[in-house]
Amino acid sequence: MLSSDSWGTMNYETLNVTIQDMVAYITLDRPDRLNSFDMKLGHELYEALQDVAKNNAVRAVVIKGTGKGFCGGGDVKEMHAAKDKSRFLRDLTRAIHRCVIEMRTMEKPVIAAVNGAAFGAGLSLALACDIIIAVKDAKLSTAFIGIGLAPGCGTQFVTKLIGYQRACEYILTSKTFTAEEAYQLGMINKVVDADKLDAAVEDVVSAFRTLPPIAVGKAKMLINKSLDNDMISHLELESKTAAWSAGTEDFTEGVTAFVEKRKPAFKGK
């Protein structure tokens, strides 16, 4: 198992990954392409996400971009160059979907630090995160329609977040909107000045360094399941999950600390 202070020997061409003080920082690193997805980025991001998901030393994950953008979506130049465009889009969207599924199903909080433009699948990538903090000058768009492409990801996220009519407005017209608009729509959690982004992200992840990671992970799972479960089956799942978590050392520590009127020291066990 990798330590909480290093990333061992893992090397990526399209990503920078560091683990520091129980937080994994994954930075998309294709700044000349606005950190857009090519197949290499899709495969490497999935591999990195799988690794941090299995690393017990990691309590939270941060995803951000290098340079001026967060993620420009799919690499349009690669789409243009592809001889079999349908096959290319099928492969690329599936590579992106694997990343999205890994982000939503890993029982760790994933924070998007949207440092700039998030277009198409780049917006979908941000919306797949659990908490989203964006800089004021970030521009956002579902983008797909603008290049004659049916959306390859994100329609479910957008529609569940902002409702049917607004989803049609923003997706069907491929309109570009600001981070402040996204905040007002309920798409993102917080908007900050560019020079305050790192501090705002640190405020969020610092909480997860001391919160009980098993309980946090199960709570994330329950939130995701609640989007599709009926009330009765979801209440049963909550009851079973609470009972299971009551068997952890963290729960024993939590209730003991409460009774003893002290701060708990959770170990993730």
Average pLDDT (68-73) is: 94
Average pLDDT score over the chain: 93
Q: How far is CA 1 from the centre of its chain?
A: 23
- The answer, yes or no, to whether residue 7 has pLDDT greater than 70, is no
Q: How far is CA 237 from the centre of its chain?
A: 24
- The answer, yes or no, to whether residue 111 has pLDDT greater than 80, is yes
Which tokens sit at 18? 């560091």
Span 149-199, pLDDT tens digits: 999 999 999 999 999 999 999 999 999 999 999 999 999 999 999 999 999
Which tokens sit at 183? 């905040």
Q: What is the pLDDT of residue 257?
A: 94
Q: What is the pLDDT of residue 2?
A: 42
Q: What is the pLDDT of residue 24?
A: 96
- The answer, yes or no, to whether residue 89 has pLDDT greater than 50, is yes
Tell me the backbone φ, ψ of residue 212, rounded to 5 degrees.
-70, 115
Q: What is the pLDDT of residue 172?
A: 96
Q: What is the pLDDT of residue 11?
A: 80
Which tokens sit at 37? 């997805």
Rounded to two decimals, the pTM is 0.93
Q: What is the pLDDT of residue 241?
A: 97
Span 112-121, pLDDT tens digits: 999 999 999 9
Span 73-85, pLDDT tens digits: 998 999 999 999 9
What's the sign of the alpha-carbon dihedral 196, 46, 77, 176?
A: negative
Q: What is the pLDDT of residue 50?
A: 96
